[in-house]
């Protein structure tokens, strides 16, 4: 077996960020071959992922990145087991790398697509495995979405100060001048913040699946079963209208002015900008 010098161990440690003893053991197993030792350390990371597959990943960060022209924006979450690891330099660096990979990903959805994305000849799955081999914690991409403008409009993002909640919203406009207007940019930013705070289930009632609606109706029916039969249906209808107003983004009272709905606030801003605007889609991600 080749002699493993302190210099060899330090070199591998500098290359991988692993502990001294882990590097020494890997070099011993690889008979002094640094490349093989690196592979051994990577496999250790994969083994850790497999061993901790059932662990909860309730800590982490929301990351987001936009293209230089602002017409493409991606958002993702990197999740781990403990707050201690989530605050570590290695985790934060990997989360920042995830933002780059998310923006480079060719698909608009699917965390598996981000894992397979290649940047500078490396898949993100390899970057992730390397970090796991350092921290020893299960770490995974929790959510991912990417928006790209296909016409006049803008994409706005809001990441909460704790970096555990974030929103991305796409607004379509009647022309580019409306999208460029300061009043609409400001309103779009407010919309992203509103979504982060209120957690809407859908854009409008047509986007809420029928199972959810029927489940809510059943709950409401149970609540009013002792009321007179001739008014039960009306009470349930009223409760469903309230449910839609609370959970459909366009119908929600705007957080900065609850005398208006989100739809009204956006329409007013677009009118001031000299045109029309509508929300096309949104995603709200939360870690934990």
Do 44 and 86 belong to one domain?
no
Do 226 and 144 belong to one domain?
no
Return mean pLDDT, the chain: 89
- For residue 268, tell me if it sits in a domain: no
For the whole prediction, is pTM greater than 0.85? no
Do 66 and 113 belong to one domain?
yes
Percent of the chain past pLDDT 90, that is, above it, reads 63
Close Cβ partners of 46 (under 8 Å, ≥ 6 residues apart): 129, 132
Range of the domain at 37: 6-51
- For residue 194, tell me if it sits in a domain: no
Do 66 and 127 belong to one domain?
yes
Do 115 and 84 belong to one domain?
yes
C-alpha distances out from residue 272 to 48, 269, 275, 287, Å:
56, 5, 8, 37
Q: What is the pLDDT of residues 5-48, one digit of tens each?
A: 878 877 777 666 566 777 788 888 888 888 888 777 767 665 55
Do 89 and 109 belong to one domain?
yes
Do 104 and 60 belong to one domain?
yes
**Are 30 and 52 a contacting pair, CB within 8 Å?**
no
Domain count, the chain: 3
Pick the last residue of a domain from 148, 167, 185.
148
d(CA 221, CA 57): 37
Do 103 and 124 belong to one domain?
yes
- For residue 288, tell me if it sits in a domain: no
Question: What residues are paired with 115 via a beta bridge?
Answer: none
CATH of the domain at 12: 1.10.8.10
pLDDT at 237: 87
Do 41 and 86 belong to one domain?
no
Pick the last residue of a domain from 103, 133, 148.
148
Q: What is the 3-state secondary structure (H, E, C) of the chain?
A: CCCCCHHHHHHHHHHHCCCHHHHHHHHHHCCCCHHHHHHHHHHHHHHHHHHCCCCCCCEEEEEEEECCCCCEEEEEEEEECCHHHHCCHHHHHHHHHHHHHHHHCCCCECHHHHHCCEECCEEHHHHHHHHHHHHCCCCEEEEEEEEECCCCEEEEEEECCCCCEEEEEEEEECCHHHHHCHHHHHHHHHHHHHHHHHCCCECCHHHCCHHHHHHHHHHHHHHCCCCCHHHHHHHHHHHHHHHHHHHEHHHCEECCEEEEEHHHHHHHHHHHCCCCEEEEEEEEEECC
Do 31 and 100 belong to one domain?
no
pLDDT at 24: 81
Consecutive 10-residue runs of the chain (288 residues): their mean pLDDT? 77 67 80 80 60 73 96 97 93 97 96 95 91 84 96 97 96 97 97 96 92 87 83 87 92 95 97 97 95
- For residue 169, tell me if it sits in a domain: no
Helix axes 6-16, 20-29, angle to 10 degrees: 110
CATH of the domain at 124: 3.30.479.20
């Amino acid at each position: 077996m080749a002699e493993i010098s302190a210099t060899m161990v330090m070199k591998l440690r500098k290359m991988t960020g692993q502990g001294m003893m882990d590097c020494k053991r890997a070099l011993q197993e690889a008979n002094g071959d640094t490349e093989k030792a690196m592979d051994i350390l990577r496999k250790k990371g994969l083994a850790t992922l497999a061993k901790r597959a059932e662990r909860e990943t309730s800590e982490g960060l929301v990351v987001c990145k936009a293209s230089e022209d602002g017409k493409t924006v991606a958002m993702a979450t990197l999740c781990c087991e403990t707050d201690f690891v989530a605050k570590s330099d290695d985790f934060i660096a990997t989360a920042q790398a995830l933002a780059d990979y998310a923006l480079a990903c060719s698909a608009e959805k699917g965390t598996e697509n981000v894992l397979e994305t290649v940047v500078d000849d490396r898949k993100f799955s390899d970057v992730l495995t390397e970090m796991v081999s350092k921290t020893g914690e299960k770490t995974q991409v929790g959510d991912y979405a990417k928006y790209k403008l296909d016409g006049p409009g803008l994409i706005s993002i809001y990441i909460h100060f704790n970096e555990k909640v974030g929103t991305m919203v796409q607004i379509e406009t009647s022309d580019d001048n409306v999208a460029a207007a300061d009043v609409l940019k400001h309103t779009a930013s407010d919309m992203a913040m509103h979504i982060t705070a209120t957690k809407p289930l859908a854009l409008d009632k047509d986007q809420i699946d029928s199972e959810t609606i029927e489940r809510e109706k059943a709950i409401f029916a149970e609540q009013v079963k002792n009321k007179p039969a001739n008014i039960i249906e009306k009470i349930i209808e009223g409760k469903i209208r309230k449910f839609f107003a609370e959970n459909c983004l366009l119908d929600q009272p705007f957080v900065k002015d609850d005398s208006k709905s989100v739809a009204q606030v956006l329409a007013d801003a677009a009118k001031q900008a000299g045109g029309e605007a509508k929300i096309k889609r949104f995603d709200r991600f939360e870690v934990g």
